[in-house]
Structure 1
Amino acid sequence: MLRNKIINLTVRDVRFPTSLEQHGSDAMHTDPDYSVAYVVIETTNAELKGYGLTFTVGKGTEIVVCAVKALSSLVVGRTLEEIVSNFRGFYRLLSSDGQMRWIGPEKGVIQLATAAILNAVWDLWARAEGKPLWKLLVDMDPAQLIRCIDFRYITDALTEQEALDILIKAREGNQTREEQMLREGYPAYTTSCAWLGYTDQQLTQLCSDALAQGWTKFKVKVGADIQDDIRRCGLIRKMIGPNNILMVDANQRWDVAEAVAWVTSLAEFRPLWIEEPTCPDDILGHAFISKALAPIGIGVATGEQCHNRVMFKQFLQASALQFVQIDSCRVGSVNENLAIVLMAAKFNVPVCPHAGGVGLCELVQHLILFDYIAVSASLHNRMCEYVDHLHEHFRSPTNIRNACYMPPTDPGFSCEMLEESVQKHQFPDGEVWKNIRKQDK
């Protein structure tokens, strides 16, 4: 690896007007415009750049951009080699700046900004090594990988030695699992059929198309109206048949008791899980819901708005979830997701990542491949979310075959966007947004 000094970091506000067609709509986010704070890192090697992003749903992206700019002084001037040789220390530098951490720490806008920067750094590292990120992680010596993780605050749930033991144990058979993934891909489920704002006609057509394409796992957005949910879940269950998998997602809509009652009313449709049934910060509330729904065979899934590894630790310790939903941008990038994946392995809870949005599928596919090949060695009750939106804006878009993620082969973290797409969708002065303002007048 050459000495690569970081000489510039830029960030842009890129938004896609998905609200116009209700893509991404759910019980709490009725008009999302899928967006990113898009980071590009330049080095003294003109041929080597790193690309990263963090996901938002429109308004507020400009605040994340400001936070990225505020953190950029901690990045520019360092070499890639300096960063990765002490990646734990670099993670702490970004997340624990004596003044900046006050507006976190390790949560909210500051953590989203940290994720965008670190995603770009990991992309840079993988490109420098000529490997897709999942392969960089799989090939990494377990001791080196452990040094990328900040274990502060989680050693009561997972020590460094326990994490190292998990990685060493999983080396048995990892080559066979890697070959399996390259051949078959990682199982996915679709959320594209049943956004809350879709009409029954849209839902029926999209579900029919997905079945024809080989999809067997479907998620339905719920939570706005109980009778509407019963009707829509009944429609989907009838279409997909008794043997395919159904999940439901309330996006934090309910109070705790309300969640139990509402989901019980949907039990006849046999959902595998209820996702985000209540406030994403309410660990004890999730534990109550998990215990109440266990007798009817419905698990609780959450994590896409879980701030950091410490919250995941508590969710696991409290048996408050049965499915861990890591997100590639909500927590502190790969570094923190490594900790979460390893904790989930210790507690024997399946990881089923949150994806969709814009760029999330491209990013998280690397993490779930790593989890299967190098950590969990299991596909039982495991699947990765897929949403069929906006992939055409990426240089290395996801490749779905037979309802499975096929492992990326291009070096990097797969989140480099096409420059033409970035310029057209840059907010507020890109061509797309200028045209929307004209139409609004």
Structure 2
Amino acid sequence: MKIVSVEAKAYRLPLAEPWISAKYRITHHELVRTLITTDTGLVGTGWCTTIGVGGLAISTLVNAYLALLLKGEDALNNERIWEQLWQDLHFAGPSGLSTLAIATIDIALWDLRAQYARLPLWQLLGGMRETVPVYASAVNLHLTEDELLAQVERQLSEGYSVFKLKIGRKDSAEDVARVRAVRQLIGDQRTLMLDANQRWSAGDAVRLCRELSAFNPAWIEEPILSDDIAGHAHVRNAGGVPVAIGEQLGNRFDFWNYVRAEAADILQPNVWKVGGITEWLKIAHMAQVANLSIAPHNALELSAHLVAAVPNATMVENIEGGNLADFGIVQKAPEVHNATIILPHTPGHGIVFDEDALAQHLLPEGAPVVRELTTHAGL
């Protein structure tokens, strides 16, 4: 199955409402979609998203540099292709834009492989389970306490029993009050996770985790700067709350450095950030050897396949307003019913984009992008 052509395009997708966390105010996502056509007539689809910047750089990396390396290659040689692309881009950076670009290709290749095998992607990857649980997530730090509780009440009515709450306000007493209020609303039998988006110093994280531990959080996500492995180990050892990390990490070596430093309890690889499915699986299996759970960050449509594939993956994140269906750009994608996704049995990953809807958001190559993405530290 020889590769005939590779083409990537970038799109800018407006959020229905801005997302505000302890780190950013986000108004748009940028999506890069890569199509790989083979001499069999099969076409593989891969994509990634970023929070408002980088889409044109990623599509240019694919079209101007990587596409030429792929033409004529057998599309079934996933490992060889991944390694070649990663080594080719390594000097430019072993993660970041490099792995985001590789991810769009790698996901398309796995889509092709599953189509060729006439298997759904989750089954080709391992077939551990046919349904996966989903937890409710939202970028909601800016909501008032009453608005936050109304959001959680709606999520409860939709069947969710696991919730992730943004924290990291300037006044930590507000964080404590909001966590207390949500815990009282959902009760003691449901699961609550907390996400600080790298807001604190290690010392502050330990102090606040000790205070927040009274509300029995299942984890504290990114309590401090993700570059600080030793700091996360300190928070994990002294804070009294399990530590989750991975949203900002870019490859298996980043994750291994956390594992060997005993700095995390739950790993959260993002399939786009780590360079696609090939690398994501390595991280998941490494975590299994270390007896750690995997709870992938974002990418609901692909994460559902990944969680269904491996035994140590736990659940899929559904970030309110951030999935492909929320942007109105897909004809077909996994649907969440009663906090569960039932995996499809159609070959491949099963995502079908709405070409007309997607075309309305195309970013022309070389065009300057007027955008609003600001560091947010005022809450």
TM-score (ref. length: structure 2): 0.89
Cα separation, 2, equivalents of 1:31 and 1:88: 35
Whether 1:367 aligns to 2:356 is no
After TM superposition, the structure 1 = structure 2 runs for residues 332-343 of structure 1, keeping only pairs within 5 Å, are: 332-343=275-286
Matched, 1:387 2:319: yes
The corresponding residue for 2:54 is 60
Aligned to 2:183: 237
TM superposition shift of 1:415: 4.1
Distance 1:415 1:115 in 2: 16
Task: Name the amino acid aligned to 1:103.
Answer: A
Q: Which blocks of at least 5 consecutive residues in structure 1 are unaligned?
A: 140-177, 437-441
Whole-angstrom CA distance in 2 between matches of 1:114 and 1:131: 23
Report the TM-score when normalising by structure 1. Answer: 0.77
Q: Residue type matched to 1:287 in 2?
A: A
State the identity %. 31
Cα gap change, 1:17/1:264 in structure 2, threshold over 3 Å: closer, same or farther?
Answer: same
**Correspondence list, 1:38-117, <5 A:** 38-46=33-41, 48-69=42-63, 70-81=65-76, 83=77, 87-97=78-88, 100-104=89-93, 106-117=94-105
Cross-structure match for 2:106? 118
Per the alignment, do residues 187 and 282 of structure 1 end up closer, same or farther by CA in structure 2, a change over 3 Å counting? same
Q: Is the 8 A contact 2:14 2:28 kept in 1?
A: yes
Query: Counterparts in 2 of 1:68-217, with a 5 A limit?
Result: 68-69=62-63, 70-81=65-76, 83=77, 87-97=78-88, 100-104=89-93, 106-138=94-126, 178=128, 181-182=129-130, 185-192=131-138, 195-217=140-162
Secondary structure (helix, strand or coil) at the match of 2:272 reads: coil
CA distance in 2: counterparts of 1:230 and 1:428, whole angstroms: 45
What is the aligned residue count? 362
- Note the alpha carbon deviations across 1:275-307, whole angstroms, 9 max, x for none: 0111212211111111012xx3x1000111111
CA deviations 1:65-107 (Å, max 9, x no partner) are 22222211111222324x2xxx32222111112xx32111x21
Correspondent of 1:5 among 2, 5, 18: 2
Question: In structure 2, what is the equivalent of residue 15 of structure 1?
Answer: 12
Q: 1:32 Cα deviation (Å)?
A: 4.2
Q: Note closer, same or farther for the CA distance 1:37–1:135 as it changes in structure 2 (3 Å cut).
A: same
Q: 2:249 aligns with which of 292, 306, 311?
A: 306
Kindly indicate whether the alpha-carbon contact (under 8 Å) linking 2:54 and 2:97 is maintained by their aligned counterparts in 1: no
Q: Contact conserved, 2:30 with 2:54, CA < 8 A, in 1?
A: no
Q: Secondary structure at the match of 2:291?
A: coil
Asked which structure has the greater RCO (Cα within 8 Å, sep 6+), the reply is: 2
Per-residue Cα deviation, 1:17-49 (whole angstroms, up to 9, x for no partner):
11x612x43111212412211111122333x11
More divergent stretch after superposition (246-255 vs 32-41): 32-41
AA in 1 matched with 2:105:
I
The residue identity in structure 2 corresponding to 1:101 is H
Question: 1:134 corresponds to which letter in structure 2?
Answer: W
Distance 1:391 1:201, change over 3 A: farther
Structure 1 residues 345 and 117 mapped into 2: Cα distance closer, same or farther (>3 Å)? same
What is the distance in 1 between the residues matched to 2:103 and 2:351?
A: 13
Query: What amino acid maps onto 1:366 in structure 2?
Result: H
Q: Which residue of 2 aligns with 1:28?
A: 23
Poorly superposed stretches of 4+, deviation over 6 Å: none
Distance 1:276 1:353, change over 3 A: same
2:266 is aligned with 1:323: yes
CA contact (8 A) 1:26 1:221 kept: yes
Mapped contact 1:15–1:36 kept (Cα < 8 A):
yes
Distance 2:24 2:363 in 1: 20
1:289 matched to 2:235? The reply is yes
Query: Displacement of 1:64 after TM fit?
Result: 1.5
Instruction: Sort the Cα spacing of 1:32 and 1:306 in 2 relative to 1 into closer, same or farther, 3 A.
Output: farther
Kindly state the Cα deviation for residue 202 of structure 1 after the two structures are TM-superposed.
Answer: 3.5
Letter in 2 for 1:324: L
CA deviation map 1:393-422 (0-9, x unaligned): 223312223212211222212444221221
Question: Which residue of the partner structure matches residue 218 of structure 1?
Answer: 163
| Displacement after TM superposition at 1:220 (Å) | 0.5
- Return the alpha-carbon distance in structure 1 between the equivalents of residues 111 and 352 of structure 2: 9
> What amino acid does structure 2 have at the position aligned with 1:385?
E
Instruction: Decide whether the 8 Å contact of 1:363 with 1:414 is kept in 2.
Output: no
